């Protein structure tokens, strides 16, 4: 069960760890075809007496030497993709954001104290590019941690210099200040000056999209307001996020399955990295053979063969667990694919059928927890992008015709209704509920609000445009 819930990369790490801990386990990249080969090839069984020899340690040595007792561990199948090459997670290279800012400080004229304060301020910049602390706290920290005694006025003066660094807007203490810093670097056109005036005098009204109040307070036309808003919308609210030199792991999702459409039919394959070739070590088989053929069996030999037995048992169990994992993944994903066949053929989320974990568990006659482990951590590569499998599961609701429909379908209809609305008069949740009811989906206003929030769509007032 633990192996089943691991995605491809974590599964590869688990195999690597097991091979490091158990020398009786080897990968199958090299062909090992001899009398001790465990892949099911014929060998001369007459060489060994097939009658088990009981020894004082109660180990049936022949059990570990006989091919009859060792199943095929190659695990080769024709239902996984040719994706066996080793792949490494790429890392972004370059200097950190903080180091990037510190490097720029050398271009600014600062005395020794100001340099120390500037470096402290740069160190206080978060990954979005903001300093989210008040000046008095910074003054206190400089005294306690850096032994630098200064005042708010000096820190403010140095902060203004830090705010001249790139990217524009870095070192701001609020969104309003961040946007104004960026506007100050632009050519002072009429639209830019109006945008600055809106932010400096009416930031609260602007953020809440109270356009009528803005028109009256600033005595401007709708066209002028629209142009100023367009200038502001092209600014960067998170200047730190734009810095490409941020050193962090590049997100790299490896799909566990691939679904393709061939001649109008769905074809499912398992990533080849989930079907490794594993076998028992030939050296360990040789050790058992040597023990069997030895006439005098010392206590040290018996202790050694007990150790070998434990490692072989663990290796056989692990290989069998890999095989069961592979079979479980294929059976579960195949059932999900067939259940959502219409969606995988079209890519239209409105064709997603209501599906819960129990539906699949009942069909494949496995426990719900098993299906959950597969769905929560696995990805599938489809013609419409790489998807997390759990996204295909959804609760059901009944439409006005008495048919069960997926909540994902309702969310898609809601999203489309919001896209089609008049942005000058966006629809409230109550009006959206009426729209959905008219389309055959009778749901309450609070349900519309819940789905809208899940889709990360703001309320009507914040969707308003002029």
Predicted confidence (pLDDT) at residue 166 exceeds the cutoff of 80: yes
DSSP category for residue 109: -
For the chain, the structural domain boundaries read: 1-91+250-393, 97-242, 396-463
Arithmetic mean of pLDDT over the chain: 76
pLDDT, mean of residues 400-423: 76
pLDDT tens column, 356-395: 888 888 888 888 888 888 888 888 899 988 888 888 887 6
Minimum mean pLDDT range among 63-67, 323-327, 429-433, 439-443: 63-67
Q: Copy the structure tokens of residue 207.
A: 């953020």
pLDDT, mean of residues 101-128: 84
Q: What is the pTM of this model?
A: 0.51
Task: Name the superfamily (CATH) of residues 396-463.
Answer: Homeodomain-like (1.10.10.60)
Q: Copy the structure tokens of residue 310.
A: 């434990």
pLDDT tens column, 35-66: 334 433 333 333 333 333 333 344 454 554 44
Q: Give the pLDDT of residue 42.
A: 38
Q: Give the pLDDT of residue 204.
A: 86
Q: Which residue has the tokens 């969310």?
A: 411
Q: Give the pLDDT of residue 92.
A: 46
- Give yes or no for a contact between 103 and 95, defined as CB atoms under 8 angstroms apart: yes
Q: Residue 196 in 3-state DSSP?
A: helix
Q: Cβ–Cβ contacts within 10 Å for residue 76, how many?
A: 11
Q: Give the pLDDT of residue 459.
A: 83
Q: Give the pLDDT of residue 289.
A: 67
Strand order in the sheet with 265-270: 265-270, 257-262, 379-382, 385-388
What band does 335 get if pLDDT is binned at 50, 70 and 90? very high
Q: Give the pLDDT of residue 60.
A: 53
Cα 153 to Cα 161: distance, rounded to the nearest angstrom: 13
pLDDT tens column, 120-134: 888 888 888 888 888
Minimum mean pLDDT range among 65-69, 323-327, 349-353: 65-69
Contacts of 411 (CB under 8 A, 6+ apart): 451, 454, 455
Predicted confidence (pLDDT) at residue 441 exceeds the cutoff of 50: yes
Q: Copy the structure tokens of residue 383.
A: 């013609």
Q: Copy the structure tokens of residue 429.
A: 């949740």
Q: Cβ–Cβ contacts within 10 Å for residue 433, how many?
A: 21
Cα 193 to Cα 183: distance, rounded to the nearest angstrom: 8
Residue 269, H or E segment: strand 265-270
Cα 189 to Cα 195: distance, rounded to the nearest angstrom: 10
Q: Give the pLDDT of residue 440.
A: 80
pLDDT tens column, 16-32: 888 888 877 777 654 44
């Amino acid at each position: 069960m633990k192996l089943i819930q691991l995605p491809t990369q974590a599964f590869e790490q688990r195999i690597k760890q097991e091979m490091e801990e158990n020398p009786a386990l080897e990968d199958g990249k090299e062909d090992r075809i001899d009398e001790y080969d465990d892949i099911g090839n014929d060998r001369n069984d007459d060489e060994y007496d097939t009658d088990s020899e009981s020894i004082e340690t109660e180990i049936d040595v022949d059990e570990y030497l006989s091919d009859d007792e060792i199943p095929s561990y190659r695990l080769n199948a024709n239902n996984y993709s040719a994706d066996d090459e080793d792949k490494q997670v790429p890392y972004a290279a370059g200097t950190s954001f903080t180091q990037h800012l510190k490097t720029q400080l050398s271009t600014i004229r600062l005395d020794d104290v100001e340099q120390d304060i500037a470096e402290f301020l740069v160190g206080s910049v978060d990954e979005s590019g903001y300093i989210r602390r008040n000046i008095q706290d910074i003054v206190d920290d400089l005294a306690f941690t850096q032994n630098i005694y200064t005042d708010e006025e000096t820190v403010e003066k140095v902060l203004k210099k830090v705010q001249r660094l790139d990217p524009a807007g870095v070192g701001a203490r609020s969104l309003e200040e961040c946007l104004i810093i960026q506007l100050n670097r632009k050519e002072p056109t009429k639209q830019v000056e109006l945008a600055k005036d809106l932010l400096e005098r009416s930031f609260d009204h602007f953020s809440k999209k109270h356009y009528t109040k803005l028109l009256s307070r600033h005595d401007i036309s709708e066209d002028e307001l629209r142009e100023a808003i367009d200038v502001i919308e092209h600014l960067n609210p998170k200047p730190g996020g734009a810095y490409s030199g941020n050193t962090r792991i590049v997100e790299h999702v490896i799909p566990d399955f691939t679904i393709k459409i061939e001649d109008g039919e769905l074809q499912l394959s398992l990533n080849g990295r989930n079907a490794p070739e594993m076998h028992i070590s030939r050296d360990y088989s040789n050790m058992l053979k040597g023990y069997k053929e030895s006439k005098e069996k010392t206590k040290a030999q018996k202790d050694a063969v007990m150790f070998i037995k434990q490692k072989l048992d663990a290796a056989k169990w692990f290989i069998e667990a890999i095989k069961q994992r592979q079979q479980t993944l294929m059976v579960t994903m195949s059932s999900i694919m067939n259940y959502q066949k219409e969606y995988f053929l079209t890519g239209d989320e409105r064709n997603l059928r209501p599906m819960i974990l129990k539906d699949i568990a009942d069909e494949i006659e496995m426990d719900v927890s098993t299906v959950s482990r597969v769905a929560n951590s696995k990805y599938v590569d489809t013609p419409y992008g790489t998807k997390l499998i759990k996204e295909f599961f959804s609760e059901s609701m009944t439409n006005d015709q008495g048919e069960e429909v997926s909540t994902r379908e309702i969310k898609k209809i809601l999203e489309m209704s919001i896209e089609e609305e008049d942005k000058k008069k966006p629809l409230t949740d109550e009006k959206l509920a009426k729209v959905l009811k008219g389309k055959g989906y009778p749901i309450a206003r609070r349900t519309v609000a819940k789905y809208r929030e899940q889709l990360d769509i703001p309320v009507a007032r914040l969707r308003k445009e002029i």
